[in-house]
Every structure is written in C-alpha cells, then in structure tokens.
Amino acid sequence: MKVAVIGATGMVGDVMLKVLAERNFPLTELLLVASERSVGKKMTFKGKEHTVIGLADAVAARPHIAIFSAGGDTSLEWAPKFAEAGTTVVDNSSAWRMDPTKKLVVPEINAHELTSEDKIIANPNCSTIQLVMALHPLHKKYKMKRVVVSTYQSVSGTGVKAVKQLENEIAGVPGEMAYPYPIGRNALPHCDVFMENGYTKEEMKLAREPQKILDDRTFSISATAVRIPTAGGHSESVNVEFENDFELNEVRRLLNEMPGVTVQDNPDTNTYPMPIYAHEKDEVFVGRIRRDETQRNTLNMWIVADNLRKGAATNAVQISEYLVEKGLV
C-alpha cells in the first residue's frame, strides 16, 4: 500500500502524518510530496527519515492513494494526473467538492456511495463536516426544513500565516498580516473571500455542501462565518427547524448514537463543548441542546470540533481507510 501525502510540509499535511501514524494506517511505502521549494527537505514519519519529492515524481511513482492538502489550484492541476496514473485521490481543497461527477464524503454518513471508479474524492469543508455530523441523525428522524448557522472559526483554519499573526499580536511583536485587520481581541465576520451575493465563500460552502453530502436539496441553510482569536477548533451556533416535532432526550440519544459524535450537555456542571477540549481529538462535540421557544419544531445546539483533525486530516484518512478496507484501491 503506497500512499502519497501532497502538501506534507503544510499545516494540515503535518496533522495528516500524525493521524496516519496514530491510526496505524496500513501503508508499506510513504511518499512525502510538496512544492518545488520544499523538495529535498528531510521529514520523519514513525522514526524513519523521508525526503520530500516533487509532484511529477510522485505521479510517476503511481501510489495507490494520494491525499491532497495543497490548495485548490494544485488539486485542479495535479489530481487528474494522479487519477490518470491509476491513483485514487482524496482531496482536501474546495476544488472538486461541488463537481457533480465527484463524491463529497464524510465516512460516517456516505462512504457507502464510493466505488473503485471514484478516482477523485472530495473532503468537505472543515465547518461543514462538524455540522453534518450532528445534523445527519436528526435529519433522518425529524426531517430538516431550515438551518441557520453562525460559526466561530479559529485562525488555524486560515493557515500558518494567520496563526503567526495571532501569536505576534499576543506577544506585541509587529509581523506579517494574514487578515486585513488585527485578529487578537477582535472578531472578523470575513472567512474566505466575499462573493457577489454579499456572502463569503465559506458561508456558501456551508449552505451548499451539506445538501450534497446528505443527498437532499429540500432543506436550506443560511450561514454567517466569523474568524475569532482562538488558535484551533471551530465552534458553531446552530438553529434547526424540522418538519416534525422532537423530544430533547431523544435528540441527545440520537446524537450520542451517531459514530464520531460526543454529547457534552449539562448546564448544572457547566458542561458544554469548547475548542480547548476538542483540541487534538477526532470527535465532534455537541451541547447547549435546547428547544427554540420562539418557533415550533425548532432546536438550538452548539457544535465544536478540531478543524485540522475531523475537519480535515482525520476525515481524509478515514476515507482512505474505507477505500483499503473495502478493496476499492
């Protein structure tokens, strides 16, 4: 089992390698791949030193699986080249997500749709993954009509430059800016770029990707995405209107029974999900579960996950595990 990690020197690539090692992914050969400026760099995986190679050499090596986390442009250019060489690509960028010919996969929800013909598989947006993990069991039971989500997203979702900006601001050191404004002691209602309709690209990902993953366009999602000065972990305030009524105890049970979801919900002991607890964990945490008293059949909840793990690396590795387990590669 030959596996290539494209973008191995980046923030998500680093977590990807950590997750592959932790989960003892059954690989026999690992290719660490990055842009030309990182070629030749030495990296260690499970105590063994590897030399970073370029994309052309990686395609020629014909890995069974290539996990991409190197940005949309790289994916658009190189994923088809790997696919043509017979490699199955799991892509973490937004490049292929809404392509009608590509599957958008959260393994706990729709991995069963994958076949050996799927040579480019899209990993959803980080904030989408944690949202659908909680919505899926509730939608199956009560049928969603409308979802309103506001996100509180960490700087790690932007990348190394943004993490450095926050660290510099905390230390009171001038440095390069990833954002148009300071992020420390601030909140920026601006994740990704603005689009013609006044929403950001991140907000439109949240509106569209869940419909594709759940294979249902009968519900709608309206999103506001906000960047906050936390180092890691995304949080979401979610309001869901259902066709059918629910009991809160049953909602908690359904969420608890969903693989990969953990309910943390006890106001008496101040128990609720927080990014500091989700850090370096693979679960999606759900709490503050309560009825919306202003509207029928409507639920409020708070969802938190580590955006670099289940929101990116872990989900991609789980897809790869499924491909191996089912003999699809």
Q: Is 10 annotated in some ligand binding site?
A: yes
Is 257:278 a contact under the CB 8 Å cutoff? Answer: no
Q: Is 157 annotated in some ligand binding site?
A: yes
Q: Which of 64, 126, 139, 191 is catalytic?
A: 126
Q: Is 11 annotated in some ligand binding site?
A: yes
Q: Which amino acid belongs to residue 106?
A: V
Q: Which residue has the tokens 């014909």?
A: 62
Q: How far apart are CA 316 and CA 3, in angstroms?
A: 12
* Residue 126 annotated in active site: yes
Q: Is 300 annotated in some ligand binding site?
A: no
Is 66:92 a contact under the CB 8 Å cutoff? Answer: no
Q: Is 92 annotated in some ligand binding site?
A: no
Q: Is 153 annotated in some ligand binding site?
A: yes
Q: Which two tokens stand for residue 122?
A: 């899209």
Q: How far apart are CA 151 and CA 158, in angstroms?
A: 14
11-22 vs 314-325: helix crossing angle, rounded to 10: 50
Q: How far apart are CA 272 and CA 255, in angstroms?
A: 14
Q: Is 156 annotated in some ligand binding site?
A: yes
Tell me the residue length of the chain: 329
What angle is formed at CA 217 by the lines to CA 214 and CA 221, rounded to 5 degrees?
85
* Residue 234 annotated in active site: yes
User: Kind and range of the H or E element at 150?
Assistant: strand 144-153
Q: Is 174 annotated in some ligand binding site?
A: yes
If phi > 0 it is left, if psi is from -120 to 50 it is alpha, else beta; for residue 60 that is alpha
Q: Which of 50, 64, 136, 234 is catalytic?
A: 234
73: helix, strand or coil: helix
Q: Is 235 annotated in some ligand binding site?
A: no
Q: Is 284 annotated in some ligand binding site?
A: no
Q: Is 37 annotated in some ligand binding site?
A: yes
Binding-site positions for NADP(+) = 9-12, 37-38, 156-157, 174, 307
Binding-site positions = 9-12, 37-38, 97, 153, 156-157, 174, 227, 307
Residues marked active site are found at 126, 234
Binding-site positions for substrate = 153, 227
Binding-site positions for phosphate = 97
